[in-house]
Amino acid sequence: MQGSNSTKRKQGDIEELISLQKVRRTRVIVIVSVLLPLLLLVTLLFSMKVVSIEVPDPRAKNNVQLAFTQGFGIAINERIMFWGDVQIEVQAEGFYPDTTGINRTTSSPLEIALEPLPGKVKFRLAQELSGESSEFKVVVNDQDTFDPLPQQVQLPKGSHSLRILGPNGYDLQTELQVIGYAEEQWVQVESLERGTLKVQVIPENAIIELSGSILAEGSYSGPVSVGDYELVIHAEKFVDHKVPISITKGATVDLKTINLRRLPGVVRLSSEPDEASLLINGGFIGTTPKILTIHEESFELTIRKPDYQSITETIVVESRQDERHHYVLEPLTYEVSVESDPIAEITLNQESKGESPVTITAKAGDILEVSQDGYASQQVTLQSESSQVKELKFKLVELAINAFEQAAETIVVSESIRLKKFSSMKLQVALPGELLSDDEPTDSIVEITKPFYMGTHEIRRKEYAKFDTNITVTPDNENLPVTGIPWIEAIKFCNWLSQKEGLENVYTIKASNQVEINTNAGGFRLPTEAEWEAVAQFNFQKRQVIGKYTWGTIDKPPTGVGNLAGFETREALQLYIESYTDDHVELAPVGSYSANLNGIYDLEGNAAEWIWDFYSHPLSGRNESLVDPLGPSDGLDHIIKGGSFRSTMLSDVLVNARRVISFEDETVGFRVARWIF
């Protein structure tokens, strides 16, 4: 039993001990449950950040409200308590809310300035203006325009300028101190004192504005508020019309009728031909070409020019347009009768009108030409009908005669080579007995149909040196005739001179110095024998033969006629002309002696001269009627004409004498000639 009781006692003690332990454990849990939150709260309180919020505006400070929009914290009055980064919104009635982010580094107090809300400005029209409310507008601070006048405008707090514009020149300007904070304020739009304005405008669609406000279209007669205005009238395609006006109480300003000036258009006028007279609405304004600035809607244009048909038309001008008008004037025509001797071909502006006599229809400026083979054409430019002879008669002139008449009396080329012109002619001369082998009469019968130029002097050394630079020229010899040159070199000089003067070469030099002549070329050349003899013994002015010598028929040379081998050469030469004396033993400067009756120097002496013709026989071609002869077509040598400073016999000086040398000779030079036609 005792063991059983002892066991029971131990078991009770154990249960009691277990129960006691449970109680203790419960107490510990309760104590920890109470103390842990307290400890946590104390920890939080000690780790909390406190920032004071200051709002400067007293109106906002009195009703400020704080709220956390991000993060956690506590707001008490104007303080906020937080542990981490937060964002708060500060609000006050009449202000825009402000959202600010803060953290533990934010200093306290934190100042936040709230911006006031704009004020609400409302407008109230006076009773007499209420019916026109839609015609009013307000301009705020000369920038923002509210049109039509609104019931309410929100404006920031502060001073603002208001300009209220309305019909009939209504213009009210005032300063308004806006309270702000979303509070309402009223602006009373009162009626202004008025006068009366009357104006009529052409065109009728013109807009009438008064200081920027549209008043009416076309015309206006009605009230306008008292004040100073700028009246502007404008219409499309017209120049704006501006005028200042002043309206006084009860007074009437009557501007009558205002005609707007059209915006100009540009009209460019030209004609063919130009320099035609221009008339606008009958008034002369210049000649073509002409650029006009026209304000009128249209105008009447007349274009006139002598000898042309006038043009009249109405031109419509578009404003701001640039228009071109070109007119081709038609010439006035008239009839002209044309006759000619001989009968000839008539052309007008290169168009054949048949043979003369003929009547043609022409106009001023037309070119009328009369032409016939073998004759020089004649050309006239027809004048205006009022001054033009209506019956034209032409006398045509043969080509040779015309060419001669048109040519200059003398020409100078290469600075000093002078040539004189000679006409066509016919020459028949009985050859002197000295040239005949028997007593049978022999004549030289020649006709020269082509007028020509002949050199008045033999070619000087200084002139030849321009062609051949190898020739020596000094002040002492530069005016002596060039001598000692072959015939072919004289031919080459002629071609060189032709090229230098821009003329066609007369000669073509082929192999072995064979030369062909072109009688249609206008360049320089050697004279023909017929030309040389004609110039030497035919008086072209009196149209008669001089004689067998250049000085006539006397067998004694006149004193000073030329440079021959006279008495002055007696010591140098075995033979000389005993009855004659001159001043030079050797060559003399060209032109040292008198010219012959035709104005040509040194034909009888100084230097003999190369000519074109071949030599075949002393009398070849004589007793024949020759026209423009060129001599034999070939031969070995060429003829030289005239005497020289070594001529000891008068037979050498005979005009019709023919001499020949094979190459060059110190006594032989040359002169140049040229066909005029």
Query: In the sheet that 417-422 helps form, which strands lie side by side, from edge to edge?
Result: 410-413, 417-422, 452-455, 673-675, 524-525
Residues 391 and 484 in one domain: no
Question: Does residue 486 share a domain with residue 624?
Answer: yes
Residues 510 and 586 in one domain: yes
**Domain-embedded: residue 607:** yes
Helix (H, G, I), strand (E, B) or coil at 412: strand
Domain match, 512 and 648 both: yes
Please state the rounded mean pLDDT for residues 492-503: 98
Is 417 a domain residue? no
205: Cβ contacts below 8 Å, ≥ 6 apart: 217, 218, 235, 236
Mean pLDDT, range 571-598, rounded to an integer = 93
Predicted pLDDT of residue 455? 98
Which residue did the predictor score with more confidence, 40 or 99? 99
Pick the last residue of a domain from 226, 259, 292: 259
Establish if 314 belongs to a structural domain: yes
CATH number, domain containing residue 636: 3.90.1580.10
What pLDDT is recorded for position 172? 80
One domain for residues 466 and 614: yes
Which band of pLDDT confidence, cut at 50, 70 and 90, is reported for residue 319? confident
* Res 306: pLDDT: 87
Is residue 593 a part of any domain in this protein? yes
End-to-end CA distance of the chain: 191
- What does the pLDDT look like over 356-371, one tens digit per residue? 999 999 988 899 999 9
Residue 227: pLDDT band with limits 50, 70, 90: confident
**522-573 pLDDT, tens digit each:** 999 999 999 999 999 999 999 999 999 999 999 999 998 999 999 999 988 8
Considering the domain architecture, whether residues 175 and 308 belong to the same structural domain is answered as no
Number of domains in the chain: 6
Where residue 13 falls (left for φ over 0; alpha for ψ -120 to 50; beta otherwise) is alpha
CA distances to 36, 38, 83, 208 from 43, rounded to whole Å, are: 10, 8, 11, 83
pLDDT of 170 reads: 77
Residues 137 and 58 both lie in one domain: no
Predicted local confidence at residue 450, as pLDDT:
92
**Least confident segment among 212-216, 512-516, 542-546:** 212-216
> Which pLDDT score is estimated for 432?
86
In a domain, residue 486? The reply is: yes
More confident residue, 48 or 352: 352
**Do both 507 and 591 map to the same domain?**
yes
Q: Which one of 216, 236, 259 terminates a domain?
A: 259
**Do 587 and 491 reside in the same domain of the chain?**
yes
d(CA 421, CA 147): 101
Q: Do the domain assignments include residue 39? A: no
CATH number at residue 230: 2.60.40.10
Identify whether the C-beta of residue 515 lies closer than 8 Å to the C-beta of residue 505: no
Q: Can you tell me the mean pLDDT for 108-129?
A: 86
Asked whether residue 477 is domain-assigned, the answer is yes
Is 107 inside any structural domain?
A: yes
User: 36-50, 370-384, 557-571: which has the minimum mean pLDDT?
Assistant: 36-50
Q: Are residues 506 and 474 in the same domain?
A: yes
Q: Say whether pTM exceeds 0.95.
A: no
**Which single residue is written with the structure tokens 């016919």?**
426
- 45/432: higher pLDDT: 432
**Range of lowest pLDDT (64-78, 426-440, 600-614):** 426-440
**pLDDT tens figures, 632-646:** 998 989 999 999 999
Residue that wins the pLDDT comparison between 74 and 159? 159
Here the CATH number for the domain that contains residue 134 is 2.60.40.1120
Shared domain for 185 and 284, answered yes or no, is no
- pLDDT for the residue 24: 74
* pLDDT tens digits along 163-209: 888 777 777 888 889 988 888 888 887 777 888 999 999 999 999 99
Average pLDDT over the chain reads 89
Residues 229 and 352 in one domain: no
Domain boundary (87, 111, 135) is at 111
Domain boundaries, position 469: 456-675
What is the pLDDT, as a whole number, of residue 278? 95
The pLDDT tens digits for 6-40 are 666 667 677 777 777 777 777 767 676 766 666 65
